Amino acid sequence: MAATATSTERAVKTVIGGGPRPRNGNGFHKNGGGDDTPFQFSPARYRIGIWMAIGSILMLFVALTSAYIVRSASSDDWHRIAMPKVLWLSTALLVMSSVTIELSRRSLKSHNESGYGLWLANTVVLGIAFVVSQMFAWRQLVRQGAYLASNPYNSFFYLFTGAHGVHVMGGLIALGYLVIRTRGPRTSVDAELRRLGAADAVTIYWHFMDVLWIGLFMLLTFWK
Amino acid sequence: MAEATHTEVHRHPAPTGFIRKYIFSIDHKVIGIQYIMLALSAVAVGMIMSVLMRVNLSWPGTHIKILETLFPQGAPGGVMTPEFYLSLVTMHGTIMVFFVLTTAPQGGFGNYFLPIQIGADDMAFPTLNMLSFWVTFVGFIVILLAIFAEGNATIGGWFSKLGDSFAGGSGTVGPIGGWTGYPPLSALGKIAGPGQGAGVNLWVISIAIFCVGSLLGALNFITTLLNMRTRGMTLMRMPLTCWAWFTTAILALLSFPVLLGGGILLLLDRIAGTSFFIPGGLYVSGSLVPLHNGGSPLLWQHLFWFFGHPEVYIAILPGMGATSHILSTFARKPVFGYRAMVFAIFAIGMLGFFVWGHHMFMSGMSPYSAVAFSVLTLSIGVPSAIKTFNWIGTLWGARIRFTTPMLFSIGFVSLFVAGGITGLVLGQSSLDFFFHDTYFVTAHFHLVMGVASIFGMFAATYFWFPKMFGRMMNEGIGKIHFWITFLGVYAIFVPFHAMGLLGMPRRYAQFTEYEFLKNSHSLVLFVTVAAIITVVAQVLFYFNFFWSIFKGAPAGENPWEATTLEWGIPSPPPHDNFAGIMPTVYHGPYEFSVPGAPNDFIMQTDGENIVADHGGGNGGNGHKH
């Protein structure tokens, strides 16, 4: 404060810049000469959010995978079971669903609403089929007498497929939400942007579920 | 992507019903206060537990009436059993670490002030934000249930019906095993002794729930900060508090899933008969543990500490942010070396992921790994020292305004140095061999992670209270609270170092039976008296807090003459913070005493020409204006 207006030049410039301003206003007009731009929705939000979620889910599976690797080397009670063949069907279903959801995203981008809804519905069906197929794999193992606690390999098998399955079901709920959102009027630009963002995020998540499953399947098949 | 050229003002109307407004609110400010209230409740439980422990250590055999009434089994005749004491240790640690040190700094103050300080109208995902609080709240209820599932025969009986592993009512107040829950003890179930049934199950479930809540919060914080900064709020114009909350959120995002994974494995070992952590051939209570084989207890330690070490920084980084912010405000000087502070916060956070092994020097580790972990651990001293010197540099030559938040911030620096310096001792495996599992370790982490973090939060509370409630907290009571607490915590934890040097082991219910510790009983008594005085002094804080909400002096918009965005809006801020209009930021966050400026502080939203001569002042971050 001591340095205020010690020269004319400075004083003039200060006035041009608005000069010392009162500090006890109502708080809503301190934009320093800015305009009254309202808050806007930035579509990157859902994208960032889903990548963060993927990062944390990945850390969960990194932790479990490290446990798998450590445990497989720490004793001689590790016995592999014969992989249920139906897992290959599961894998095919999930890869196909990844293709259909990508088609639905592209339909949405080119404003093809009916194509979007159609491919979305296909993805939901394939996703449910994947979960059912995984349950068949579990049933097959139970019939063979391979339970959760029979052997550490089995424990991890059920754990990985179960944890992945839970995340797929979360994805199915999100897909269901998108399907519901295909109906109803398009009210505001903001709501429409949010719908596009959500579709984008669910697609990314669904691809991640696909890649994650392939990784887990390969781990369970090829690692010890 | 559709073009975002729409111009309608998008405002969420403020909710009117009581439930939507105060209970299931999606307003980040209400959620922040909910987190703070949760922490205030949890810390009271944790403090009562610590006093009970001190009483048992100092005057073994004391009759405590209330314990007899509440826990007739665990404290027959009001005298606590050693098992009861050990479960107090566990629950004190768990409640303090998770429900106090993780909730208040991040969920509480971060939730309330991060969106405002970056100029956003709310968090990125408000509903998710509400969920993250309520999930955390459920976690707290479950941990409280653990107390009564083991401590109360009736409630324990209900849990016993769920199966063998849920057997309850063993007369403790939760599990025995410390907040680290090492297997095999924690994995075996009731054959391992009291507190190992329902107590451990509920403890694991509570922590797993807490992990989920924290993950939702972390995701929200990161997205908000990256996506919703207002015009002109570049990364290097963010207050250091925002950098701290951001780094903390990254740590939480990457470390909590690992604890969640470990928790799932532990729970499966307990209730599903798997052998992730339980080795074969274990003899417990005179009998062979059946059906388990080949598990690795060390695996749990790796998973736990991979989370556990970043967790330490999750607790303290927000305190560092608040301290940097408050020191600058009341020193009326820019933060010394803003950029260095940002990089130091980030470096501490990232290095924190590579040092978990220093908790396991005594668990059986290759000496080569120990050296690697040791070197990495000591290297954290570098960014920590940068921060400390920059705090001192900020204070250097300043005309300090000694307000209560300032006192607590200076107290934070003091405690961080006092507690951090012993980290350099414990980080060396050769010295840790002696100090491990002694009171020296307890002294270290209480000072640096516990008390320093809490001082950061006290500073934050006194500093932001006027903004949150529109009224000032009482400065006189605040200063008395500061001096008793500041001297009190040193009186408690400095003697802990001496006890550690004497070889006094952690987690022992009593020391009276040990010849070599006979002479240190006066030290134990001294600590207990100091602890009781310090805990009682916290009543001043609680009183000041709740009294000031209703009766404090009206605060006005900017009582501290601070610069950041939250001080440009009314106290308390309206429902959507900035009334739907984006603020524009022209300045760094710490432009105090800028030559040529009309006041000794320049608000971030002040016009860019406010200092219109000689090339502009240096706003503490190296930018020219």
Structure tokens at A113: 């609403």
A 79-138 residues inside an 8 A Cβ radius of B: none
Confidence band for B610, pLDDT divided at 50, 70 and 90: confident
DSSP state of B581: B
- Torsion sign across C-alpha atoms B186, B189, B192, B194: positive
B165 within 8 A of B186, measured Cβ to Cβ: no
Structure tokens that stand for A148 in this block: 């959760």
> Which among A56, A74, A76 is the nearest to B219, CB-wise?
A56
- Please compute Rg for chain B using Cα positions: 25
Predicted local confidence at residue A159, as pLDDT = 97
Q: Chain B neighbours among A 147-166 (CB < 8 Å)?
A: 148-149, 152, 155, 159, 163
How open is the CA angle B252-B256-B260, to the nearest 5 degrees? 165
Cα dihedral B28, B29, B34, B36 sign: positive
Band of the pLDDT at A83, cuts 50, 70, 90? confident
pLDDT reported for residue A141:
94
B179 three-state secondary structure = coil
Return d(Cα B270, Cα B262) in angstroms, integer: 12
CA gyration radius, chain A? 27
Both structure tokens of B483? 């001096």
Q: Distance (Å, rounded) from C-alpha B84 to C-alpha B172?
A: 5
The pLDDT of residue B12 is 64
pLDDT of residue A24: 34
Question: Can you give the pLDDT at residue B527?
Answer: 97
Greatest C-alpha distance within chain B: 84
pLDDT tens digits, one per residue of B539-550 = 999 999 999 999
Whether B299 and A19 lie within 8 Å, measured CB to CB = no
- Asked if the Cβ–Cβ distance from B257 to A152 is below 8 Å, we say no
What are the phi and psi torsion angles at B556 (to 5°)? Answer: 75, -175
Please give the pLDDT value at position A23: 37
pLDDT value of position B620 = 45
Amino acid at A65: T
> What average pLDDT does the segment B306-325 reach?
97
- Residue to mutate among A36, A41, A52, with most B CBs inside 10 A, is A52
Test A38 with B608 for CB contact under 8 angstroms: no
**C-alpha to C-alpha distance for B511 and B210, rounded to whole angstroms:** 35
| Per-residue model confidence as pLDDT tens digits over A6-59 | 333 333 333 333 333 333 333 444 444 445 677 878 889 999 999 999 999 999
- Per-residue tokens: A176: 């269901």
Q: Provide the pLDDT for residue A7.
A: 39
The answer to whether the pTM exceeds 0.90 is yes
| Strand (E) or helix (H) holding B20 | none
Strands B283-284 and B287-288: antiparallel
Dump pLDDT digits (tens) for B372-417. Answer: 999 999 999 999 999 999 999 999 999 999 999 999 999 999 999 9
CA angle, residues A98, A99, A100, in degrees to nearest 5: 95
Measured between CA atoms, how close is B367 to chain A, in angstroms? 19
A191 vs B49, higher pLDDT: B49
* Mean pLDDT of all residues belonging to chain B: 92
Residue whose entry in the numeric block shows the structure tokens 């020269």? A7
Q: What is the pLDDT of residues A107-127, one digit of tens each?
A: 998 989 999 999 999 999 999
**Helix, strand and coil percent figures for chain A, each rounded to 5:** 70, 0, 30
Q: Determine the residue among B586, B609, B611 to mutate to test chain A binding: the one whose Cβ has the most chain A Cβ atoms within 10 Å.
A: B609
Q: What is the pLDDT of residue B10?
A: 52
How far is Cα A198 from Cα A204, in angstroms, rounded to an integer? 10
**Closest residue to A155, CB basis, from B231, B268, B607:** B268
Q: Which of A32, A148, A193 lies nearest to residue B274, judging by beta carbons?
A: A148
What is residue A9's predicted lDDT score, i.e. its pLDDT?
A: 39
Q: Helix (H, G, I), strand (E, B), or coil: what is residue B512?
A: coil
CB contact under 8 A, A43 and B4: yes
What proportion of chain B, given as a percentage, has pLDDT over 70?
96
- Give the domains, in start order, of chain A with CATH numbers: 45-222 (1.20.120.80)
- CA A153/CA A159 separation, integer angstroms: 10
The shortest C-alpha distance from B341 to chain A (Å) reads: 25
pLDDT at A19: 35
Q: Which of B229, B233, B296, B613 is the mutation pick for testing A, counting most A CBs within 10 A?
A: B613
Name the nearest CA neighbour of B74 among B186, B153, B166.
Answer: B153
- Which of B219, B265, B609 has its CB closest to that of A16? B609
Q: What confidence tens digit (pLDDT) does each residue in B55-114 have? A: 999 999 899 999 999 998 889 989 999 999 999 999 999 999 999 999 999 999 999 999
Contact across the interface for A27 and B557, Cβ inside 8 Å? yes
The mean pLDDT of B240-249, rounded to a whole number, is 98
CB-nearest to B219 from A10, A52, A78 is: A52
Domains along chain B?
Answer: 31-281+290-295 (1.20.210.10), 307-550 (1.20.210.10), 555-625 (no CATH)
Separation between Cα atoms, residue B411 and residue B404, nearest integer Å: 10
Instruction: Return the C-alpha torsion angle B551, B552, B557, B562, nearest 10.
Output: -160
B23's enclosing H/E stretch is none
The rounded distance, in Å, linking the Cα atoms of A169 and A163 is 10
On whether any CB of chain B is under 8 Å from the CB of A28, the answer is yes
DSSP H helical segments within B4-81, as ranges? 18, 28-58, 65-70
Contact A67 B276 (CB under 8 A): yes
Least Cα distance to B619 among B298, A24, B611 occurs for B611
At residue B425, the pLDDT reads: 95
**Mean pLDDT for the stretch of residues B495-516:** 93
pLDDT exceeds 60 at position B20 = yes
**pLDDT reading at B622 higher than 60:** no
Q: Which of B121, B273, B556 sits opposite A149 (nearest CB)?
A: B273
**Residue of A1, A12, A13, A30 for testing the chain B interface, max B β-carbons within 10 Å:** A30
DSSP state at residue B336: T
Q: Is the pLDDT of residue B614 over 50?
A: no
Please report the beta strands in chain A, taking only residues with DSSP state E, as ranges in sequence order: none
Q: What is the pLDDT of residues A191-216, one digit of tens each?
A: 888 889 999 999 999 999 999 999 99
Interface predicted TM-score (ipTM) over 0.85: yes
Distances (CA, A) of B595 to B39, B395, B623: 42, 18, 15
Q: Do residue A192 and residue B293 have CB atoms under 8 angstroms apart?
A: no
- The region of weakest confidence among A181-185, B487-491, B521-525 is A181-185
Per-residue tokens: B374: 């040791």
Report the percent of chain A where pLDDT is more than 90.
Answer: 62
As a whole number of angstroms, the distance between CA B189 and CA B185 comes to 8
- A32 in contact with chain B, both atoms CB, cutoff 8 A: yes
Q: How many H-runs (helices) and E-runs (strands) does chain B carry?
A: 19, 2
C-alpha span between B218 and B288 (Å, rounded): 44
DSSP B176: S
Phi, psi of B603 (to 5 degrees): -65, 150
Total residues belonging to chain A = 224
What tens digit of pLDDT does each residue of B465-504 get? Answer: 999 999 999 999 999 999 999 999 999 999 999 999 999 9
**Among B29-38, B65-74, B455-464, B547-556, which stretch is predicted with the lowest mean pLDDT?**
B65-74
Of B537, B514, B511, B534, nearest to B524 by C-alpha is B511
Output b/e per residue, B425-441; b: 16+ Cβ within 10 A. bbbbbebbeebbebbbb
Q: Which residue of B has its CA nearest to A106?
A: B1
**Partner-chain contact A52 B569, CB within 8 Å:** no
Provide the pLDDT confidence category of residue A224 given band limits of 50, 70 and 90: confident
> Coil, strand, or helix at residue B570?
coil
Q: For residue range B165-178, what is the model confidence (pLDDT) as tens digits?
A: 899 989 899 999 89
Q: What is the pLDDT of residue B85?
A: 96
Inter-residue contact B439 to B514 (CB < 8 Å) = no
pLDDT at B337 over 70: yes
